[in-house]
Amino acid sequence: MDNTFVVTTVEPGFRVCSYHTDRFKTGILSVNLVVPLAGNVAEKSLLPALLCASCRAYPDLLSLNRKLAELYGAELSPSVSKHGENLVLRISMTMIGDRFALDGESISLECARLLCKALFEPNVEDGAFLAAEVEREKRIRLDRIEALKSSKRSWAQKQMIELMCADEAYSLPILGREEDIRALTPEQLCTSWQDLLKTAFVQLQVVGDLEVEPITALFREYFDHVEDRNVVRGKTVVIPSAEAVKRGVEEQDIAQSKLVMGFRCGMHEPFENYAAMRTFTDLFGGGTYSRLFMNVREKQSLCYYCAARLTAAKGILTVQSGVETENAEKAEEEILKQLEEMKAGGVTAEDLEKSHRSMEDFFLSVFDTPEELDGWLFSQVTDDEFQTPEDLVAEMKQVTVEQVIEMANNVTLDTVFLLKGTGTGDDGEVD
What confidence tens digit (pLDDT) does each residue in 308-342 have? 999 999 999 999 999 999 999 999 999 999 999 99
pLDDT mean across residues, the chain: 94
Band (pLDDT 50/70/90 cuts) for residue 101 is: confident
Q: What pLDDT is stored for residue 425 in this prediction?
A: 60
Q: What pLDDT is stored for residue 131 in this prediction?
A: 95
For 156, the enclosing helix (H) or strand (E) is helix 152-164
**Domain 246-421, CATH:** 3.30.830.10
Cα of 381 vs its chain's centroid, Å = 10
Handedness of CA 277, 322, 148, 370 (dihedral sign): positive
Q: What pLDDT is stored for residue 145 in this prediction?
A: 93
Checking if the pLDDT of 3 tops 80, the result is no
40-79 burial, b if ≥16 CB within 10 A, otherwise e?
Answer: bbbbbbbbbbbbbbbbeebeeeeebeebbeebbebebebb
Pairing status of strand 316-323 against strand 257-264: antiparallel
Higher pLDDT pick, 133 / 429 = 133
Q: What pLDDT is stored for residue 1 in this prediction?
A: 56
Checking if the pLDDT of 100 tops 60, the result is yes
| CATH homologous superfamily for the domain 5-224 | Metalloenzyme, LuxS/M16 peptidase-like (3.30.830.10)
Measured from the Cβ of residue 428, the count of other Cβ atoms closer than 10 Å reads: 15
Q: What pLDDT is stored for residue 104 in this prediction?
A: 75
Cα of 138 vs its chain's centroid, Å = 22
Q: What pLDDT is stored for residue 430 in this prediction?
A: 43
What confidence tens digit (pLDDT) does each residue in 287-296 have? 889 999 999 9
**Nearest CA-CA partner of 378 in 24, 34, 61:** 34
Handedness of CA 74, 75, 76, 79 (dihedral sign): negative
Checking if the pLDDT of 197 tops 60, the result is yes
Q: In what side-by-side order are the strands of the sheet with 305-311?
A: 246-252, 412-421, 257-264, 316-323, 305-311
Note if the pTM is more than 0.75: yes
Q: What pLDDT is stored for residue 287 in this prediction?
A: 83
Q: What pLDDT is stored for residue 120 in this prediction?
A: 98
Between vectors from CA 28 to CA 24 and to CA 34, what angle results, nearest 5°? 150
**Nearest CA-CA partner of 431 in 299, 285, 324, 278:** 324
Domain boundaries, the chain: 5-224, 246-421
What confidence tens digit (pLDDT) does each residue in 231-252 have? 998 899 999 999 999 999 999 9
- Establish how many alpha carbons lie within 13 A of residue 72's alpha carbon, considering only the half-sphere containing its beta carbon: 19
Band (pLDDT 50/70/90 cuts) for residue 349 is: very high
